[in-house]
A and B are shown apart, each in its own frame.
Chain A
């Protein structure tokens, strides 16, 4: 079974703090993704990566950065957390098949609250 894990289920941080969200997958997937989920807006892509040290901006990258030093690990970084970054963050991974994306498998999510 595909396993995608995220470092925390719940996280509370203060405005201005630097926040790290970690995601690890054990299926040797090339692609990894970070989404945020807000009520009424569905899931929106923040960043994705199709290889180690590679990253691509998604629809809403402002205020975020990412790091992928190892194939199995993809980190989302909030350089200076703000209250409008309070959200559910979901990590996903998939195989790369040359076109489009194979089925994405998701982690359990991290609910981040910024005070």
Chain B
């Protein structure tokens, strides 16, 4: 069975600081992918970053980077230089060959001015 775990219900970070949001996963599949989404208070899920299981380099997208440690089955999201607009819920999701995503329970990030 596939499983995604986000152990931090809430996180606080000072504006302009970096923050790491944790995500661990469990799958027996060799080929899989990991996604991070942001959900602001408006409700829409916004795609941030993707990492494939065979990608050797960590994915980066602007201020977002994914710290992928395959042996530990972790895929942490790092947000650098936090901004007030980064305050939101963040979801990690796992995809396997089943054509759908398994989501974690999310982490609420609050950026403090």
Residues of A within 8 A of B (CB): 9, 31, 33, 35, 40-45, 48, 50, 56, 58, 88, 90, 92, 96, 99-101, 103-109, 111
Contact = CB atoms under 8 A, between A and B. Distances in A.
Contacts of A96: 99
A50 B99 contact: yes
Given A42-B91, A108-B42, A108-B44, A100 B96 contact: yes
Nearest to B9: A40
A90 B37 CA distance: 13
A107 B100 contact: no
Interface residues of B, number: 26
Interface in B66-113: 91, 93, 95-101, 103-106
Given A40-B105, A42-B106, A100 B47 contact: no
B43 interface: yes
Contacts of B46: 106
B45 interface: yes
Given A90-B45, A111-B43, A103 B35 contact: yes
